Amino acid sequence: MEPTFTSLLPPILAIVLAVATRRVLLPLTAGVALGCLLVVEEGEPWYQALITFYETITWTITDGSHLRVLQFSLLLGAMVGVLEIGGAMASFIAGVAKRIKGRRGAQSLVALSGLAIFFDDYANTLLVGGTMRSTTDRFKVSRSKLAYLVDSTAAPVAGLSLISTWAVTEIMYMEDGLKDAGVEGASAGFQLFLESIPYRFYPWLALVMVFLIALTGRDYGPMKAEEEKAVGGRADQDEPADQDGGKQEFESTTASADDSQSTSELRRCLGEIYAAVVQTERPQQLIAHQGTGVAWVPTLIPVIVCILTVIGVMVYTGYQQVGPQSEEMSMLRYIGALLDECDSYLALVIGGGAGWLVALGAHLSAWSCPAKRLLFGSLRGAAQMLPAMAILWLAWSLSHLTEKEFLNTGGYLASLLNESLNATLLPSVVFVVAGLVAFSTGTSWGTMAILTPLSVSLAIQMQQVAGAGLDPSGAICVATAGSVLAGAIFGDHCSPISDTTVLSSRASGCDHVAHVRTQAPYALTVAAISIVLGTVPAAFGVSPWLLLLLGSVALWAVVRFIGRTTDRPAPRKQVSPGKQVSPKQEGRESTGRPQRVR
């Protein structure tokens, strides 16, 4: 089909409706429906569009690789659900928190806990925010700071992780874009995913910013004012009520980018079941093991088993195709050949299943958690993935319709932008567009679903026009692929309607408006440096690792010269009646170090 302007209408309609309705499922459905109408050739009956619609959604849901992606999503969600409901992970974090001293130590623990829970942003947000509140309150760290530390580690670390609910989704979207551009390969999407990791400048630098803020104790903008209020005992907290036995918690944790009637009803029903289980079978072992070493067994072992299983199956399936290493082949090239020929989707499914089974076994044996509770935890975790799976399904359908044999959207965009846009500016433009879409819709997943296939296909075709050929490893293509995810997370951090932003403020007990207002300046700072010292020079071939180093130095300079520390007042010593305390003694902390008087 000869590409024309009409080939842009389905994705444009999806984006416009997503911005207008702040939903994802309905806009994607409308985009698929419009695409089916446009591919009907002249002279064919109108109901051919209905047939095309049915064939498209049926093919995308029955495709072998797509089915494995959905299976992995359910299994990983079930594993996360077991880790959440079993209580071991919360106890593990609480036990570590008891060993922290000082405001900076408390903030650093929040950041480190966020890195540890790398497999899911929802689990990260709820577990870290909920378990660290008492610790940060004890050291007078504001709830706004806690919400920022939680929110700015959850999505970035999940987006960068090789084993997470994000990874397999990103791989599929990239693979769809490569297919649209005519690039075939069993693991082409997986290789592009790996190569784009260092080009995701915003997530990397957002994590750097989190640790700079936590370790230096410096803040600026509205966050500085919130920290001063917290130190002075005047923090504005918004403690969420929890008087429904966990039902409200369940419904909020399963909130997604789209709140359709069906998913809302499903969450309500499962929430009632979950609340009943929590009320009747809350494990006494959670109290008995609080802060003890046994907590690490059911917490870490399932995640480790999942990772090792995925790696092992990938190596095994790759070895089945490549065979033993030859003498003239270097180890690096051999590993690349194994990854290129491996069955990554099968590895993810087996790894997810192994992690879930080990999580069940660990909680039953080491944690003595009731089997019924673990069963409903698995159901709860899997249910959290259903809205995201629906988004995946429709995104696959829309991407299928934009391929060369149908609308050829990428080909038209490439020919259009090649005349007006320098290819080296594409990663930066994609980053900004993804940020705007995510900010307007409140969903990074929906943004990736709409933009990733289109952006990857466009980048390769612009490279081809520039004479670089169909090379998915080119700097422009890899940087563009990384920019979609980076921009989506950036817009998510700034959006007041983002699901993770709402969850972060709620889990941290922070006023939602205060969280958005205090986090935005930090997110904008990181985004500006990500463009100036990231996407722009990366498109010209500069090493992304060097750019990440320069960006980190720039962030340090901003925090060092713009940020200001917030000193904690010295605790007053108990004075026996009649005993006089000199002003000099009163100005000292319990450590004997003089306290600065303001």
- d(CA 526, CA 205) in angstroms, rounded, equals 6
Q: What percent of the chain has pLDDT over 90?
A: 24
Q: What mean pLDDT do residues 551-561 have? A: 96
How many residues would you count in the chain? 598
Q: What is the pLDDT at residue 197?
A: 94
- DSSP-assigned letter for residue 532: I
**Highest mean pLDDT: which of 203-217, 324-338, 339-353?**
203-217
Q: What mean pLDDT do residues 198-210 have? A: 96
Instruction: Tell me which H or E stretch contains 219.
Output: strand 218-219
Q: What is the pLDDT at residue 234?
A: 62
Give pLDDT tens digits for 222-280. 999 999 988 887 655 554 433 343 444 444 443 444 444 444 544 555 454 444 444 43
- Compute CA distances 422 → 108, 429, 476, 540, whole Å: 42, 10, 11, 11
Q: pTM of the entire structure?
A: 0.68
Question: Mean of the per-residue pLDDT values for the chain?
Answer: 78
What tokens does 304 get?
């480790």
What tokens does 70 get?
């959905």
Sign of CA dihedral 490, 494, 499, 504: positive
Residue 555 has pLDDT above 90, yes or no: yes
Residue 339 has pLDDT above 80, yes or no: no
Q: Is 577 exposed, middle or buried (0-12, 13-18, 19+ CB in 10 A)?
A: exposed
Q: What is the pLDDT at residue 282?
A: 42
Residue 529 has pLDDT above 90, yes or no: yes
Q: What mean pLDDT do residues 359-377 have? A: 83
**Highest mean pLDDT: which of 194-208, 312-326, 386-400, 557-571?**
194-208
- DSSP-assigned letter for residue 37: H
- d(CA 431, CA 485) in angstroms, rounded, equals 8
Greater model confidence, 182 or 50? 50
Q: What mean pLDDT do residues 349-356 have? A: 90
- d(CA 434, CA 482) in angstroms, rounded, equals 11
Q: What is the pLDDT at residue 558?
A: 96
In 3-state terms, what secondary structure has residue 218?
A: strand
Q: What mean pLDDT do residues 433-459 have? A: 83
